[in-house]
Amino acid sequence: MKGLSYVQKTAIPYLILLALSLASISVTTTVFFDQFVLSNLQKELISETTLAAESLEDNPFLTEIDDEAKHIAEITSNRVTIILADGTVIGESDRSALGMDN
């Protein structure tokens, strides 16, 4: 059985090093991207929730909450459910709040 040629002796360690480098770059990029996406999602949710809270502050008697939920949903392009502290659903953008279980 012949030994490895000079090219094989030098190429194999470099290929292993290349594979390890690509794997570490892949893991690092994935972790960074996940953190970036989660951070942006958190900021978006906070701003949309703040918008909804300020919009509801102008309506102290809780009239037409379903309409307000639909309006907020149009602005944010998300489904909006408005829930009281006791868990009662009082506003819903996609369905009538009256039909909800809570």
Question: For residue 28, is it within any domain?
Answer: yes
**Does residue 90 sit within a domain?**
yes
Q: Residue 12 sits in which domain range?
A: 6-99
Prediction pTM value:
0.56
Is residue 1 situated within a structural domain?
no
DSSP symbols for 36-65: HHHHHHHHHHHHHHHHHHHHHHT-TT-TTH
Cβ-Cβ contacts under 8 Å for 90 (sequence gap 6 or more) = 62, 65, 82, 83, 84, 97
Number of C-beta neighbours around residue 52 at 10 A: 21
- For residues 65 and 86, what is the distance between their CA atoms, to the nearest angstrom? 17
pLDDT tens digits in sequence order for the chain, 102 residues long: 477 788 888 899 999 999 999 999 999 999 999 999 999 999 998 988 888 888 777 776 666 788 888 888 888 888 888 888 888 888 888 876 666 665
Number of domains present in the structure of the chain: 1
24 CB neighbour count, 10 Å cutoff: 10
